[in-house]
Amino acid sequence: MGRAPCCSKVGLQRGPWTAIEDTLLIDYIRAHGQGNWRYLPKKAGLLRCGKSCRLRWMNYLRPDIKRGNFTADEDDLIIRLRSLLGNRWSLIAGRLPGRTDNEIKNYWNCHLSKRSKHMGKTPEVPSTINNKNCKIYKPKPFRLTSVSIITRNHSADSSISGPNSGTATAQEDKGSLASKEAPGVPWPQAGSAGDAGGVLVDNNEHDIGSEPSSQYDPKPTNDNKFEKLYQEYLQLLMADDNVAVESLSA
DNA sequence: AACACTTTCAACCGCTCTGAT
DNA sequence: AATCAGAGCGGTTGAAAGTGT
């Protein structure tokens, strides 16, 4: 499945972005919304490849990005989530409003990984996590299709993924900014599109969920069953500190 | 003040995914 | 079924900033 590079590097600007470039990108996205990254730079008058534009927007220019130091709570959450999810930074970012996967990844590499070592905790991901009646297998990341968007709060119409969800599908991205950041839909009330992962099994090791068959399996075999299990998984993830504690001490 | 070393983080790269044709 | 375009993810890089000597 060979394909050409995302852009011809000839004549394209690289390296740090200038204020003028930032302004061009912001203005364009404000007017036309994000998506179509391949053609966006041309239309916006930028000598950048689409990939570079997307990265700049996602990691730096987006209005909802939170700046400043990580709080102790965020530190704790990152450590716990990483112990559960591994280096799935986009999934982790989906649970930290205003933080980007890149930022969290950098923060982990610079601060938290060292701290974890100092504390004598092994940040490595356990193969399984025991909890009461079920285990959660280390989830494999997969991109979520529009079919499998499942919200954290069960609301029927809240299938709007947070703007922080780096795993939104191309289809979702083609929606306007306005639709994603609509008033009254405060991020992050809905589950991040990318954070649907994990497989639940019962104590007899029966797979009661749907083991993704490939690294990015987007299609649960049974939507209702999957949704129920996924909600359980989310509850465990969000509410049960023991999960993180056990996983760290495993 | 000047230099060396370390840390931080924005940006890039390569890969794999989904959806359309 | 095969191919391609568009997109997202995670690992890595390297320049700038910070710190120590």
Q: A207 - beta bridge partners? A: A201
Q: How many domains does chain A have?
A: 3
For the stretch A166-199, pLDDT in tens is 333 333 333 333 233 322 222 333 333 333 333 3
In a domain, A205, yes or no: yes
**CB within 8 A of A57, min separation 6: which ones?**
A25, A29, A34
A215 assigned to some structural domain? yes
Cα–Cα distance between A25 and A105 in angstroms, integer? 24
- Note down the domain range covering A238: 128-249
* pLDDT tens digits, one per residue of A37-60: 888 888 888 888 888 998 899 888
Mean pLDDT score, A214-219 = 31
For residue A205, give Cα distances in angstroms to A141, A147, A196: 21, 27, 21
Same domain, A165 and A222: yes
Q: Are A133 and A244 members of one domain?
A: yes
**A218 and A140 housed in the same domain:** yes
CATH number of the domain at A46, please: 1.10.10
CA A150 to CA A163: how far, in whole Å?
15
Q: Which residue ranges have CB below 7 A from strand B?
A: A 1, 3, 5-6, 9, 14-17, 48, 51-52, 55-56, 59-60, 102-103, 105-107, 109-111, 142-143, 145-146, 169-171, 214-219
Question: Does residue A66 belong to any structural domain of this protein?
Answer: no
Q: What is the pLDDT of residues A103-122, one digit of tens each?
A: 898 888 888 776 665 555 44
Q: How many CB atoms lie within 10 A of CB A26?
A: 16
